[in-house]
Structure 1
Amino acid sequence: MLDAPTRVVVVRVAQWAALAAALGRSARSAFEPVVQSVVQHAPLVEVTTPGVIIFATRGPSRYVGGDQPLATLVHAAVSDALRVIADSSNERTRCGVGIADGRLAAAIAAQHACVSSEPLVVPPQASIRWLATAPVRALVDCVDIIGAVGAGVPGADDITSYRDMVSLLERLGLYRFGDVAALDEAHLIARFGAFGRDLSRLSRGLDRHPPLAVEPPPDRVCLLQFDGPVESRDAVVDAAEALATQLVDHLATQGLAMVRLHLLLESDHGERSERMWYRAEGFSARAVVETLRWQLDAWILHDTPTSGVVSVRLSPEQLIADTGRQSALWGGERDGDRHAQRAVRRVADMNGAESITVPAWRGDRDPARTFQFVRSDSVDLERRTAGDAVDLTVGEWRGALPSP
């Protein structure tokens, strides 16, 4: 079946941002040892947000003898890495490994696994039945994995508005995905628009974006080759910025947007760093650049290539129709926002990305600790809304009061 969801593994570390803050490090750099522990079993992984790792089971599962052995190996590797981190910070956290057909089902399975401390594998072809019993509120908890459903419509990227949409579903009596799947897709689209379209697909066990019938043609693959090895990280990023802009603009002229990107870096000695990246709302040029910076930092910090970078390759792995981004009547992006974004980039270029921080909601009983500052390159400033700054995390925080 062409539209069948990909069978994936989701590795989730509970309360990662809080643990990274306790370590006194950025969430990205602190998470890299965990990523490296997974790379031992699956060379090509996706790290869209710190605390979450995703990769396809095809290949790794066959190599180790099945999904259950793979889940057990990955869970043990991640647990060992977290134990080392916890010993140095006196903090404790849990990890969950879920395997299922589709990102949403695997993400919910990983959440259950976090609670049980045992990997959870949903059998092949059984994800739809298993997902039917899951609550629709799980959409909020999985927004960092599947993206904001209906992204591109006013307010969809604001997590508060997003929660309101899920609350509306519950008030309508649609508490579980099985309830939603029983409804006609046309009725959901008529009532909820883009949100209803994505919700219908997810509730039926499908991924938000159906796979393309053909691979992206070679002319959409961008390759940057340097005349000699480049040792400076900033020089590589600056040179790749034009490449990213060229790629995104080229796709836009054809009415396309890129949601999955394969990024490959190669050194003069043949050492390689490759990862898959996913953004449900599509990559902007700036998002591509920050993704490259993240991957390059991780490569330099943990693998330490023995020579400079000689090539950067950007390969779109999944494209969707670019339907544009609907602006709100008020409260949308203003000229001042664009000027501020450019100023942030200039200061970061001069003083380093770590010199610019933006507020992120953390949660705490102490008002002075309710917010924490994170590096500006850890978020996409072009797409970030005021709601994101207030409530970036959707899970429980360590100081939460018990509730029925």
Structure 2
Amino acid sequence: MSGSEYVPARMLVLWCPDWPVVAAASEAGLPVDEPAAVLVANRVVACSAVARAVGVRRGMRRREAQFRCPELAVFADDPDRDARLFEAVAMAVEDLVVGVEVVRPGVVSVPVAGASRYFGGEHPLLERLVDHVSASAGAECQVGIAEGLFAATLAAHRSMLVPEGAAAEFLAALDVGELDQPGTDRGGLVDLLRRLGIRTLGDFAALAERDVLARFGAEGLIAHRLAGGRDERPPDRRRPAPDLAVTQQCDPPLDRVDAAAFLARTVAHRFHAGLASRGLACTRLGIRATTGAGEELGRSWRCAEPLTPDGIADRVRWQFEGWLTQGRRRGDGPTAGVTELRLEPEETVEGSALQLGLWAGGSGAEHTPEADKAARALVHVQGLLGPDGVHTAVLGGGRGPAEQVRLVPWGDRLPDEDRRPWPERLPGPSPATVFPEPPSATVLGADGTEIGVTERNRLSARPATVAFDPDGAGAGGARAGRGEHDVRDVHDWAGPWPVTARWWDPDGPGRRVRVQVVLGETAERPPAALLLCWQDGKYPKWTVEGVYD
């Protein structure tokens, strides 16, 4: 049966909205009516409904988010915390239905067929599940049912029960931006589709698979399958042989998370090596444990990408935090230490889907003992500093210099190289220093009046003088006194280079114009070259975006 003819199984997804914020606020004791957000790399990745009501949005910079909501409580991203606190929700779901899979902290899925028959239909199942999770775990949740995990997740976002066989019709009317779910990194694809005039999932699904693969590559083809109501992967998965599971006896019994995390690292590498020897990689991991009191513990973790050894070890550690730390706080944790740990590959794909590499993460990277040693050192540093303590710089698409370099947390999947032409892109060479928070500047003409930009994206006059904060820009070597501005004559300039992308978005960056200027030397400082940026509707209008060596 071909992928296009295959109908995904009917799934139930339970979604806890804004779970990273809910978990962070719960651990900090913050009331639910206080605005809060979780940030990664100085950008909002999740925010509460109260924060959204005053204009805070995902992807917004910290400064802008706090400008819109000064009382915003800011938390760092902590996957361990999210997974640990979510265990209570997963256990509440498991009280009523079997086969629970944790897609990610905040989202669980279960096959709906058996459970709906037991509770007398899908509607009674939804009502019973929402009430039970609210009463047992104290968490607000929404539930949706549809064919396939992707459609069921979007149905949960809308608290919908999609009629059987209507998943494709349900998806067709939704915005194409729904493809960019947390952890998928499809923002670039979504932006490109919109610029091509493709606004809905139905528009995207109507394209021929051959054309999608030729234009957008393998990642685009996966998104195309989801938009059409099909599974992310073709139905060629297989149940692996029982001998691929790994069992570890624990002596002494594990009753602390740090001891479990240490053991998990060894077991994870042995488990991964066994799969790799058969040319397989795990996409759904079963974690089973037996305690000294005979208690049986178990949980399944579904993963969008094949798991690496570090990814396996992380999920084992998260699960033990849920069992040992959070479970004991709730009073329903195990009464004795874990004496046996078992990892089971509940779902696998061909090993070619996983290409390991040290720096690039692609198939061309050499996997050597030296690379393993360096990777272990970086993982150790990441363990000391947190998940966002170690990053890999990746060149990508974008028009400005700050947009062309992305910092990806170590261990996360690296995005594919962006080969798009990017019209209006700033020509090379790029600035040697680019500021995350550009300092302000003032650009004056020969008559001393401030220069602006016309409707035709032309400068209103020739730049003659630039005043900027050297403490912020760091241009020209020595730092000026606190609060002083460096005022220099302009010897030469180039530009302007306008950028008119996302002009339709009221929350977008607005019209921007970049200018390169060469400043003369002074008695205290040598010549300097700056990249200036003028932004419409923002104050201040001129900023120093970068400095050239």
Sort the TM-score into its range (normalised by shorter chain).
0.7 to 0.9
Q: 2:290 is matched with which residue?
A: 266
Q: 1:368 is matched with which residue?
A: none
Q: 1:154 is matched with which residue?
A: none
Deviation of 1:221 after TM superposition, in Å, equals 1.7
Distance of 1:4 and 1:129 partners within structure 2: 14
Gaps of 5+ in 1: 86-93, 114-119, 149-158, 361-378, 391-401
Q: Which SS does the other structure have where 2:342 is aligned?
A: strand
Alignment match of 2:133 (pick from 56, 78, 92): 78
Alignment match of 1:163 (pick from 164, 183, 187): 187
Matches within 5 A, 1:14-53: 14-24=17-27, 26-53=81-108
On the 8 A contact 2:355/2:361 being kept in 1, the answer is no
On the 8 A contact 2:213/2:221 being kept in 1, the answer is yes
Alignment match of 1:296 (pick from 320, 343, 347): 320
Deviation per CA, 1:16-74: give whole Å up to 9, x if none: 22222223353233333333322221244222322222222133222211221111112
Deviation of 1:190 after TM superposition, in Å, equals 1.0
Q: 2:143 is matched with which residue?
A: 97
Deviation of 1:328 after TM superposition, in Å, equals 11
Gaps of 5+ in 2: 29-80, 390-407, 417-435, 437-505, 509-549
User: Kindly tell me: are residues 381 and 71 of structure 1, through their superposed partners in 2, closer, same or farther at Cα, counting changes over 3 Å?
Assistant: farther
Alignment match of 1:307 (pick from 319, 333, 336): 336
Name the one with the larger strand percent.
2
User: Kindly tell me: are residues 252 and 289 of structure 1, through their superposed partners in 2, closer, same or farther at Cα, counting changes over 3 Å?
Assistant: same
Alignment match of 1:135 (pick from 169, 175, 181): 175
User: Kindly tell me: are residues 186 and 165 of structure 1, through their superposed partners in 2, closer, same or farther at Cα, counting changes over 3 Å?
Assistant: same
Letter in 1 for 2:265: E
On the 8 A contact 1:224/1:240 being kept in 2, the answer is no
User: Kindly tell me: are residues 380 and 36 of structure 1, through their superposed partners in 2, closer, same or farther at Cα, counting changes over 3 Å?
Assistant: farther
Distance of 2:112 and 2:99 partners within structure 1: 11
Distance of 1:251 and 1:169 partners within structure 2: 37
Distance of 2:126 and 2:108 partners within structure 1: 13
Deviation of 1:313 after TM superposition, in Å, equals 1.6
On the 8 A contact 2:172/2:200 being kept in 1, the answer is yes
Distance of 1:326 and 1:345 partners within structure 2: 15
Deviation of 1:307 after TM superposition, in Å, equals 2.1
Distance of 1:254 and 1:166 partners within structure 2: 36
Alignment match of 2:197 (pick from 156, 159, 173): 173
User: Kindly tell me: are residues 228 and 43 of structure 1, through their superposed partners in 2, closer, same or farther at Cα, counting changes over 3 Å?
Assistant: farther
On the 8 A contact 2:11/2:145 being kept in 1, the answer is yes
- Corresponding position: 1:64 with 2:122: no
Distance of 1:331 and 1:246 partners within structure 2: 21
Q: 1:320 is matched with which residue?
A: 349
- Corresponding position: 1:183 with 2:207: yes
On the 8 A contact 2:147/2:165 being kept in 1, the answer is yes
- Corresponding position: 1:383 with 2:386: no
Letter in 2 for 1:97: V
On the 8 A contact 2:10/2:147 being kept in 1, the answer is yes
User: Kindly tell me: are residues 235 and 331 of structure 1, through their superposed partners in 2, closer, same or farther at Cα, counting changes over 3 Å?
Assistant: closer
Matches within 5 A, 1:339-354: 342-343=376-377, 346=380
Q: Which SS does the other structure have where 1:121 is aligned?
A: coil
Q: 1:8 is matched with which residue?
A: 11
Matches within 5 A, 1:111-130: 111-113=157-159, 120-130=160-170
TM-score (norm. length: structure 2) = 0.55
User: Kindly tell me: are residues 240 and 20 of structure 1, through their superposed partners in 2, closer, same or farther at Cα, counting changes over 3 Å?
Assistant: closer
Deviation of 1:356 after TM superposition, in Å, equals 4.0
On the 8 A contact 2:239/2:348 being kept in 1, the answer is no
Deviation of 1:188 after TM superposition, in Å, equals 0.8
Q: Which SS does the other structure have where 2:353 is aligned?
A: coil
Distance of 1:223 and 1:58 partners within structure 2: 31
How well do the aligned residues superpose, as a CA RMSD in angstroms?
Answer: 3.5
User: Kindly tell me: are residues 340 and 312 of structure 1, through their superposed partners in 2, closer, same or farther at Cα, counting changes over 3 Å?
Assistant: same
Deviation per CA, 1:203-234: give whole Å up to 9, x if none: 22111123346421122222223456443443
Deviation of 1:286 after TM superposition, in Å, equals 1.0
Distance of 1:242 and 1:109 partners within structure 2: 39
Q: 2:392 is matched with which residue?
A: none
Distance of 2:133 and 2:24 partners within structure 1: 19
Q: 1:376 is matched with which residue?
A: none
Deviation of 1:9 after TM superposition, in Å, equals 1.5
TM-score (norm. length: structure 1) = 0.72
Letter in 1 for 2:112: T
Letter in 2 for 1:54: S
Distance of 2:237 and 2:308 partners within structure 1: 24
Q: Which SS does the other structure have where 2:165 is aligned?
A: coil
Distance of 2:130 and 2:148 partners within structure 1: 19
Alignment match of 1:107 (pick from 133, 145, 153): 153
Q: 1:202 is matched with which residue?
A: 226
On the 8 A contact 1:287/1:380 being kept in 2, the answer is no
Deviation of 1:384 after TM superposition, in Å, equals 5.7
Sequence identity (%)? 34
Distance of 2:82 and 2:260 partners within structure 1: 23
On the 8 A contact 1:240/1:312 being kept in 2, the answer is no
Distance of 2:276 and 2:145 partners within structure 1: 34
Letter in 2 for 1:101: E
Deviation of 1:238 after TM superposition, in Å, equals 2.7
Deviation of 1:325 after TM superposition, in Å, equals 3.7
Letter in 2 for 1:316: P
On the 8 A contact 1:260/1:318 being kept in 2, the answer is yes
Matches within 5 A, 1:330-345: 342-343=376-377
Q: Which SS does the other structure have where 2:103 is aligned?
A: strand
User: Kindly tell me: are residues 241 and 56 of structure 1, through their superposed partners in 2, closer, same or farther at Cα, counting changes over 3 Å?
Assistant: same
On the 8 A contact 1:237/1:293 being kept in 2, the answer is yes
Distance of 2:266 and 2:361 partners within structure 1: 30
Deviation per CA, 1:135-193: give whole Å up to 9, x if none: 221111x344xxx2xxxxxxxxxx3xx31211111222222222222222111111111
User: Kindly tell me: are residues 109 and 384 of structure 1, through their superposed partners in 2, closer, same or farther at Cα, counting changes over 3 Å?
Assistant: same
Letter in 2 for 1:110: A
Letter in 2 for 1:13: C
